[in-house]
Amino acid sequence: MESGAPAPTDAELVDGLRAGDPRTFEILVRNEGPRMLSVTRRILKDDDEAREAVQEAFVSAFRARSQFHADSRISTWLHRIAVNAALSRLRSRRRRPEDSLDDLLPRFMPNGHHVEHFTSWTEPADVTISRKETSQQVRQAIDSLPETFRTVLMLRDIEGLSSQETASMLNITPNAVKLRLHRARMALRTLLAPHLQGASA
Amino acid sequence: MTCRELSDFLTDYVAGELPAEVSAEFNGHLTRCPECHLFVEQYRVTIHLCCEAYDDTVPPTLPEDLVHAILASLAKTAIDG
């Protein structure tokens, strides 16, 4: 975008989008592209594929431009399209047998009580450095989850999609979304515990 | 309510959608059981950490070659229909 040109309003972008105006698309590519690339990278864990997914997403958006409803935000609409493009690539990958999550779930005694004794997680002394480190540990832990659980966790807790939206994107029931999300979160808690227990020690 | 049963309601609980009929039992157990208290707290922290784990992973701009590739495929789509 040339500097000095006034930024178009949302309404102008919507009009341009519907009209298939190339200038509007360039603005959208430059403004929304970075967030879309970040989403497809998260989901696909592969930079080349993530770039291709963003490209496919814009082509899909262009083709579906007449279906855009003015009452939703263009950024949200494009975000969903990028998620879908990434998921579609994920589905076309050769499926590998998945590891079980069971070892990472809490264990209960026959009377229903927790077997484990949990240790509190402490707030580390240097918050700034450790927040970066923690985020990296969290990303690694998320990436180590079996794919079916990782995807649900991504869509719900990171992309902020509803159960209903997640269910329809993955073609599973909202109940299955809820169950997988719960198990993914519990597994992640187990994976993070060693990093966060007594972090200040 | 046991710890196991409590854990089944955790997604509802953190979403603020705990069914009214289990709310009293759930909260009663949570107050009495130090293990569940810690577990629920850590479950919440886990969700929070997930939300912010990717905060600084958005690139400031798209690589220029990618912008051009996208614009070229859009132009092609506009012509091909």
pTM score, two decimals?
0.89
Asked whether the predicted pLDDT for residue B22 surpasses 50, the reply is yes
Query: Closest to B3 (Cβ–Cβ): which among A114, A134, A181?
Result: A114
SS (H, E, C) chain A: CCCCCCCCCHHHHHHHHHHCCHHHHHHHHHHHHHHHHHHHHHHHCCHHHHHHHHHHHHHHHHHCHHHCCCCCCHHHHHHHHHHHHHHHHHHHCCCCCCCCCHHHCCCECCCCCECCCCCCECCCCCHHHHHHHHHHHHHHHHHCCCHHHHHHHHHHHHCCCCHHHHHHHHCCCHHHHHHHHHHHHHHHHHHHHHHHECCCC
pLDDT band at A201 (very low <50, low <70, confident <90, very high): very low
Asked whether the predicted pLDDT for residue A42 surpasses 50, the reply is yes
ipTM score assigned to the predicted complex: 0.92
Measured between CA atoms, the residue of chain B closest to residue A56 is: B70
Query: Closest to B53 (Cβ–Cβ): which among A135, A178, A186?
Result: A135
Question: Does A176 contact chain B (CB < 8 Å)?
Answer: no
Tens digits of residue pLDDT in A143-175: 999 999 999 999 999 999 999 999 999 999 999
Asked whether the predicted pLDDT for residue A114 surpasses 50, the reply is yes
pLDDT band at A3 (very low <50, low <70, confident <90, very high): low
Asked whether the predicted pLDDT for residue A197 surpasses 90, the reply is no
Tens digits of residue pLDDT in B38-77: 999 999 999 999 999 998 889 999 999 999 999 999 999 8
Question: Does A20 contact chain B (CB < 8 Å)?
Answer: yes
Mean pLDDT over B15-36 rounds to 95
| Average pLDDT taken over every residue of chain A | 90
Measured between CA atoms, the residue of chain B closest to residue A142 is: B50
